[in-house]
Structure 1
C-alpha cells in the first residue's frame, strides 16, 4: 500500500468542496488551509490536478464510465477521486503505476470498499489511453473532431463550433493550451509608474499595460490589495483602451469593475475629464466596483448605477430627469454576458457547465437585445463598442450582423470588428470587439 500524496489529497478536498457548494475550484484552492500547508511543488501539483480534473470532467467521465458497471451509482467523492487519477493517466503523462496506485489510495480515503473497483477501472483506463484519445471507437467521419475534443477534454459540440467559425488551426490551438496556465497581465494605476520585481513588458498601444508578469511576485508585491494595479488579460485591456475617448462614456455590464478601473485609469492617464456611467445588474457588484475605484483614487467622474442593461430607459431615468431629455453618450461600451469560451484556461468550470443552446441561441438573443437597448443612448457621431470574451461566431460576428439589420442598428456602420488572439500556448485570451459608429 502506497502513501497518499498530500497534493492529491488537497486537490480532492477542493474539488469535493467546490462541487458541494457550487463554488469555483480556483477560489476554494486559494482559501484552503490544506493548500497553505503544502510546499511550493505540492501546491503546484494540487492546483494542476484540481483545475485539470474540472476542465476535463466530462471527458474523464466518458473514459471512466465505459469500465464502470453502474456509473450513476458512483458517489460524488469517489467520482472526483477517479477523475483525478484519470486526468493524470490521460493528460499529465504520470506513469501508470503511480497514477493507478495513488488513485486507488484516493478512492480508499473516500470508501475503503471501493478500492478494488478503482484498481480495476483505472488499470483499464491506462491500458486504453492511446485508443481512447485517438477516438478509435468513433466512426471515421467524426474521428478527427472527437479526437480533437478528447485531446483537450472539451465537449464535442464546442470544438465543432470553434472549428466551424475559426478553422482547424484555431481549434487545435485552443485544445493545445487547455491545461496550460494563461499568461498574466496587469493594468497600472496612473499613480504608479512601475512595479519592481514582477518582470513583464509594456504593450504597444495599451498605455499602462504590463504583460507576462510573474504571478507569485505580483501577489507578494501587495499592489493589487492597494489598488495600484488590476489583473486583466491583454486583449481585455485592448477593449477597455478602445473606450478611452473624449466625451462621455456609458459602460454596460460593468461587473465588479475591472474595465471601469481600466477605462478610468486610461482617461486619467490621457488627462480626459469626463462623465463615466457604469451600469451593472448586480447591486453587490456595483458596491465592489465603487470600493475598488475608491481604493484606487479613480472614482472622480464615475457614476455607478444598478439595473438591467436591456431596460436602460428605467435605469437611466434619473439621468434623463436631470438633463431634461434622453441622455446620450459619446462612447457606449457593452461588455456583454457571454459563454466565456475565450477564457477557459482561467475558468475551468466553463466547458462542462456551458450548454450548447445557451451559447448558440439564448446568449446571442440577449446580446442583440442589449445592443438594441444601447443604440438609443449613442450620441450622433458617437461609437458603440460591443465586446465579449467568447470565440464563438454565434456570439460575435453573427450578433453584430443581426443587430445591424435591425431598425436600431441601421444608423450604425461597422468601423472595426475582430476576433482577437485565440487562446493558444503562450497567447492571450480570446476576446471579440466590434466598434460601430453612429450616423450624424
Structure 2
C-alpha cells in the first residue's frame, strides 16, 4: 500500500481532540468545537473530525481489543500513538474506509506522535485491515459466546453491557438500538417562547424542522445558533427530544421541586412550557453542586422566563437541602409536582456521549445506581403534597434502573400511596397542542 503524502485536516483534528480530551480529563464533544475553530476547519472537515473523534471514543474498548490482538507488546504503546492507531482502526472496522487510505493516513497520524512509530503503525493497521471481518464476526471467541460478542463488537460496546441491554429491551428493540449506535445522534432544540422571532433566521440556517412538541425543532447542526449567541443568551437550549417530552410532561400548575436539575436545561424547558400555557407555578431547582445551581439561575434570569429558587445538596436528605426554602415558606414545604431526574448510567445517550459505555462497570448498573435511585425516590415521595405527582426519569435503557427501581419503590412504605400513570396521559393533560407529541 502506498503512502498518502498529505495528512487530511479532519484526521489531524480528530487526533488532537482525542489527546486534548484525555490529557484534560474532558469529554471529546466538549473539546471538538473549540479545537476545530482554532484550526479554522471548514464545515466538512470539522464534521469529519468530530465523527472520527466521537466514534473512536465510543468504540475505544473494541478498537483496543482489535489492536492488542495484533501487537507484540500492547503496553509499549504511548497514549498518543494508541490514539492515532485507534483512528485508523476505527476507519477500517466501522467506517468502511478503503484499507489503502486508512492505513496510510493512520501511519501519518502515528508519525505525528512519534517518528519511529510509522513502521509499527503500518504493520499493525495492515493486520487489522486483513482481520477486520474475522474480528467483527468474533471468530476468535468460542461458538457459545460468539453471537453476543460479535453483536457487541459491531456496535462498538462492551459485551457485558450488550447482554444487559438485550435483557432489558428484548432482542428486537435492542438490535434496533445497536443498528444506529455508531450513527451521529440527532440534534434537537427547544426555543424560548419569548424569543421565537430572534432565532428564526438561525433556525432556518441550521436546517430546522418543527417537531410535534411546541417549541421543539430538529436541526441538522447548531453552528448558526451558536454563532448568533442563541444559547448564550438563553434564546434556546439544545436537548434530546425525549428529554423535551419529559420536561413537557412534568410542567403543571402549582409548585414543583426538580431534583437533579444540573445546569438547568430541563428547568428552562419547563418554564418555557409554563409560559406557553400561562401557568402559575413556583419552581425549586435542586442539584448536588452549587456551581450548577448558579449556572441554572443565571440562565433562567437571562431567559426572562421567570424566577426559580435554587438549592444545593444531597437529595437523599431533602430536609437539609431545603432548610432555607422551608424557612422562607414557614413550614415543611410539600409540592404539587416532584420531579426526580435521577443520576443514572446514561445508556440511552451513548450515541451522544461515547465515553459512557467504557467508563461504566457492571456493579454500577446492577446495584449501585439502582440503590441510589430508589433512595432518592423514597426521600422525594415525602415532599409530594396530597393529590400531587412524583415523576421519575432516567437516561438509561436498563431495566434495573427503570422498571426495577419503580417496582421496588411502589413496594416500599413511601410508595404505597402512589399509582403508575403513563407519560402520554400527562402530555394529554397539558392540552391539545401536546397530546400528539
TM-score by length of 2: 0.92
Write 1 or 2 for the structure with the bigger share of helix: 2
CA distance in 2, matches of 1:358, 1:174: 21
Match of 1:424 in 2: none
Q: Report the 3-state secondary structure (helix = DSSP H, G, I; strand = E; otherwise coil) of the residue aligned with 2:31.
A: helix
CA distance in 2, matches of 1:27, 1:193: 27
Q: Report the 3-state secondary structure (helix = DSSP H, G, I; strand = E; otherwise coil) of the residue aligned with 1:310.
A: coil
Answer yes or no: is 1:382 the counterpart of 2:382. Answer: no
Match of 1:218 in 2: 225
1:241 to 239, 248, 258: 248
- The 1:96–1:261 alpha-carbon spacing in structure 2 relative to 1, beyond 3 Å, is same
CA distance in 2, matches of 1:21, 1:222: 26
Contact persistence 2:249–2:423 (CA under 8 A): no
| Range that drifts further, 107-116 or 276-285 | 107-116
Match of 1:328 in 2: 334
Q: Report the 3-state secondary structure (helix = DSSP H, G, I; strand = E; otherwise coil) of the residue aligned with 1:309.
A: coil
Match of 2:211 in 1: 203
* CA-to-aligned-CA distance 1:324-350 (integer Å, 9 cap, x gap): 432100000001111111111111111
Contact persistence 1:29–1:47 (CA under 8 A): yes
TM-fit CA distance, 1:33: 5.8
1:15 to 18, 38, 62: 18
| Range that drifts further, 207-216 or 262-271 | 207-216
| Range that drifts further, 328-337 or 266-275 | 266-275
Contact persistence 2:285–2:311 (CA under 8 A): yes
Structure 2 gaps, min length 5: 425-437
Match of 1:112 in 2: 115
CA distance in 1, matches of 2:330, 2:221: 51
Contact persistence 2:196–2:235 (CA under 8 A): no
- The 1:148–1:266 alpha-carbon spacing in structure 2 relative to 1, beyond 3 Å, is same
| Range that drifts further, 16-25 or 213-222 | 213-222
CA distance in 2, matches of 1:41, 1:193: 29
CA distance in 2, matches of 1:8, 1:83: 11
Match of 2:296 in 1: 289
Structure 1 gaps, min length 5: 419-440
Match of 2:416 in 1: 410
CA distance in 1, matches of 2:226, 2:37: 19
TM-score by length of 1: 0.91
CA RMSD across the alignment: 1.6
Match of 1:436 in 2: none
* CA-to-aligned-CA distance 1:345-381 (integer Å, 9 cap, x gap): 1111111111121122111111001001100000011
Within 5 Å, give how 1:1-80 maps onto structure 2. Answer: 1=3, 2-32=5-35, 36-80=39-83
Within 5 Å, give how 1:292-303 maps onto structure 2. Answer: 292-300=299-307, 302-303=308-309
Q: Which runs of 4+ in 1 moved over 4 A?
A: none
Match of 1:427 in 2: none
Q: Report the 3-state secondary structure (helix = DSSP H, G, I; strand = E; otherwise coil) of the residue aligned with 1:406.
A: coil
